[in-house]
Structure 1
Amino acid sequence: MATVEKVRKMKADARKRSKQRVETKNELASHAIIALSELGYARTGLRDIATLSGRSVGALTYYFDDKIDLISYCVRLYKEQFVRQIDAAMSGHNSSTSIMEAVTSAFAWAIEHDAHKHRLWYDIRSQALFEEAFRPVVREIEDNLIAMVVRFLTRLGRPVDNGQTMYFVLDGLFRVHLQAALEGDTHAPQNLKTAMVAVLDGME
């Protein structure tokens, strides 16, 4: 019996350490992504990230293998949060009109408040054309984004057989209006909403 209890305690301790490790990595990533989103991939090294995020290089290298590992983790973490935000925007609404308003507003909010973080995603997606190490995380994120768009289309009662194509259309709209917002266009969030509604209404 004592052996069984000991094993249970060991398992519980292992789960606690694992949870603490994930929490620490998420905390480091949340600070690092701010630095990365300001400077971009090419202009930052681990020392720059450590300085700008208020952490030591040792802390970063303890939890992440290298800059690519850190950036991949940061982008994955942030885009997962974005997907949850869009899913949350869909919940609690029944009519297609209210769902459309809630989701397009969430996309617009992302451009208005988190433009620099989303810019990092496009930076890394472009880097994946040259850096093979980025390709798995980019594929994973895009698969999640496509699935999100399919859920959105389903809630709107639109056809989902072209979900991947619609993802690329909406992604293109998002990137163009993100660029406009980064250039100082204060109308970019509302223009994105208008463009998304026009495209989605065209599916009816």
Structure 2
Amino acid sequence: MAAARTARKVPADKYDERRTQLAESALLTLGELGYARSSLREIANNSEFSHGVVHYYFADKLELIIYCVRYYKARCVTRYDAVVAESSTPEQLIDAFAAKLVETIVDEAPMHRLWYDLRTQSMFEEGLREAVLMIDQTLEEMIWRVVARYSALSGREVLTGPDAVYGLLDGVFQRALLGHLTDRPGALDDLRDQVRSLLPLLLVTGK
């Protein structure tokens, strides 16, 4: 309680800035160790911050992890907006979307691994559920923007709704991520091919 009262005396912008710095540092450890193996002390040991500082800004591991994942996903939910804005043909959009999916797996595999870990943990950890459901919704909306643009460029309606589209593409993405993490040959090439095959199937067949 004393720490909480002291924290409130820190100017809000400085307080939030330090929490963001801690989140950026913690994400590296969380991405490597996962939810179950990470503790506030372990996160502190792998960062420039002491355990006392981490605990000063976050009451427990759950609060820190929720903040970290919200922070990370807030940065990435606009990842495909350039694909939507810059594509002028259906084929161009498919190629750009597939390339961006592969790029994010290569560049940010630990963060994606952490996300899927937390989404699974939320089935058992009630404290995670609200944040996970909120983030899942924003990701669904992100994917729907891509598919809606593809539909408009193709001049055909989408066969199903955003939740089904997200579920399908998320499953393909997760499988490719696992293949990449386990060094399965061709995992990323398969992802490109599957996206090129699946997107046309999401649209009503032309007459």
Letter in 2 for 1:129: M
Q: Distance in 2 between matches of 1:188 and 1:101?
A: 17
Matches within 5 A, 1:146-165: 146-157=140-151, 158-159=157-158, 161-165=160-164
Partner of 1:166: 165
Partner of 1:37: 31
Q: Which moved more, 1:185-194 or 1:42-51?
A: 185-194
Say which SS state the counterpart of residue 50 (structure 1) adopts: helix
Identity of aligned residues (%): 34
Matches within 5 A, 1:66-77: 66-77=60-71
Matches within 5 A, 1:17-32: 17-32=11-26
1:131 aligned to which of 122, 125, 130 = 125
Partner of 2:5: none
Q: Distance in 1 between matches of 2:172 and 2:160?
A: 20
Q: Distance in 1 between matches of 2:83 and 2:95?
A: 9
What is the number of equivalent residue pairs in this alignment? 190
Q: Distance in 1 between matches of 2:40 and 2:197?
A: 43
Provide structure 1 residue ranges, at least 5 long, that are not aligned to the other structure. Answer: 1-15
Provide structure 2 residue ranges, at least 5 long, that are not aligned to the other structure. Answer: 1-9, 152-156
Q: TM (normalized to structure 2)? A: 0.85
Q: Give 1:126 shift.
A: 0.7
Which consecutive aligned stretches of 4+ in structure 1 deviate over 4 angstroms post-superposition?
Answer: none
Say which SS state the counterpart of residue 56 (structure 2) adopts: helix
Q: Distance in 2 between matches of 1:141 and 1:46?
A: 23
Over residues 123-182 of structure 1, what are the superposed CA-to-partner deviations in whole Å (9 max), with x where a residue is unaligned?
A: 101110110000000000011011112211111115275111010011101111101111
**Would the aligned equivalents of 2:140 and 2:162 in 1 still touch at CA under 8 Å?**
yes
Say which SS state the counterpart of residue 59 (structure 2) adopts: coil
Q: TM (normalized to structure 1)? A: 0.86
